Amino acid sequence: MSIPSNLQKKSFTLVDQACHEIRGFRNLYQQLDDKVRLSGHSISTLSNYARKLAQLSLHFGKLPQHISEKELNKYLASLARQSKSPSLSDFKFTVYGLRYCYRLMGMNDKVVQLPRIKRDKKLPVVLNHRECKALFNAPDLLKHRVLLSFIYSAGLRAREVSRMILSDIDSGRMMIHIRQSKYNKDRYVPLSPLMLEGLRKYYYACHPIDYLFNGNEPGSPLSVRGMQGALREAVKKCNLQKGITLHTLRHSYATHLLEFGMDIVTIKELLGHVKIETTLVYLHVAKPNRSNLFSPIDRLYAKG
């Protein structure tokens, strides 16, 4: 069977194998594909759900709807034990995939029996200004220096940058067009004049074609994995110890805007958040912009 090309490579083997070995999985996958597309969810959602459902079906040799509650509980408990943080592991995507599958099959009683997943309440990691500058200057390649600073300059998601084409940079209006991002939404964000200078320097030096940041293969975009590699090398060179990811640059963008005085509603729109509650987390991270703030210990030991 030819698996749709929109699945990530790491999904291909498991889904393809399940379609061949598990009777009815091919039809289940097609229904899942149709439902995800009609619901407006991202391709990564389809990939995650399909991969976990395939893995589950191959483990038991049958479709998810035919797995008993006892078998399922034992399987999920095993996944939870394998991770220090189940809410960020295979456990989460397996449960979400099962919920989606059961609703698709009209088996709402099964949905109720699945374990609830506690949402992490950790605050996002944010870089300070000095760390940002060090990180953006660290890569040896101009392409990577521009890439990391570009992500921060507009608070972009990695996948948004990966699919961005040259014409999305509108220097006439000084805007960046972000197409069909999360929840299939388009949005515009301001293009920094300083960033435009960097992009022009990169363009004339590297001559990208079609995509703003090209991958190794002609006509292909730079993958998220490629971006992660560039960031990893930069972090290592700077010797930063904060547990930095590409999304840390987006968190830093939002937090710094808040600290510089931008209102939270505008930041919500720039980030492309659907709910204001998602953006409000940065209020707990941002350093309050008040000159009279102090720690009581300084007053406790003040001279005189």
Q: Looking at residue 138, which CATH number applies to its domain?
A: 1.10.443.10
Q: Measure the CA–CA gap between 138 and 130, rounded to whole angstroms.
A: 12
Q: Specify the number of domains making up the chain.
A: 2
Radius of gyration of the chain (CA): 23
152, 197 in Cβ contact below 8 A? no
Q: Are residues 83 and 142 in the same domain?
A: no
Q: Are residues 143 and 97 in the same domain?
A: no
Active-site option among 182, 188, 203, 237: 182
Q: Is 177 a catalytic residue?
A: no
Q: Are residues 107 and 145 in the same domain?
A: no
Q: Are residues 140 and 276 in the same domain?
A: yes
Q: What is the pLDDT of residue 295?
A: 63
Q: Measure the CA–CA gap between 213 and 223, rounded to whole angstroms.
A: 9
Q: Are residues 32 and 108 in the same domain?
A: yes
In a domain? residue 122: no
Q: What is the pLDDT of residue 119?
A: 65
Q: What is the pLDDT of residue 304?
A: 58
Q: What is the pLDDT of residue 2?
A: 36
Q: What is the pLDDT of residue 33?
A: 86
In a domain? residue 290: no
Q: Are residues 136 and 237 in the same domain?
A: yes
Active-site option among 144, 157, 159, 256: 157
- Residue 294 neighbours by CB under 8 Å, 6+ apart: none
pLDDT per residue, tens digit, the chain (304 aa), is 333 334 344 445 789 999 999 999 999 999 988 887 777 666 777 788 889 999 999 999 999 999 988 898 888 888 877 765 544 567 888 888 898 888 888 887 776 667 776 666 788 999 999 999 999 999 999 999 999 999 999 999 999 999 999 999 999 999 999 987 876 789 999 999 999 999 999 999 999 999 999 998 878 999 999 999 999 999 999 999 899 999 999 999 999 999 988 999 999 999 999 889 889 998 888 876 655 556 666 666 676 5
In a domain? residue 269: yes
In a domain? residue 255: yes
Q: Is 173 a catalytic residue?
A: no
With 0.95 as the threshold, say if the pTM is over it: no
Active-site option among 143, 187, 237, 273: 273
Cα dihedral sign, 181-183-186-192: negative
Q: Measure the CA–CA gap between 178 and 175, rounded to whole angstroms.
A: 10
Q: Is 133 a catalytic residue?
A: no
Active-site option among 250, 251, 256, 268: 250
Q: What is the pLDDT of residue 86?
A: 47
Give the domain extent around 165. 129-284
Q: Where are the alpha helices (DSSP H) in the chain?
A: 9-21, 25-39, 43-60, 69-81, 90-104, 108-113, 129-137, 142-154, 158-162, 193-206, 224-238, 246-259, 264-271, 276-280, 296-300
Q: What is the pLDDT of residue 210?
A: 93
Q: Are residues 181 and 264 in the same domain?
A: yes
Task: Give the residue from 113, 144, 165 where a domain finishes.
Answer: 113
Neighbouring C-beta atoms of residue 41, cutoff 10 Å: 16
In a domain? residue 121: no
231, 172 in Cβ contact below 8 A? no
Q: Are residues 53 and 80 in the same domain?
A: yes
Q: Is 273 a catalytic residue?
A: yes
Q: With b meaning 16 or more CB within 10 Å and e meaning fewer, what string describes 46-76?
A: bbbbbbbbbbbbbeeebbbbebeeeebeebb
In a domain? residue 95: yes
Phi-psi region at 24: left, alpha or beta (left = phi > 0; alpha = psi -120 to 50): left
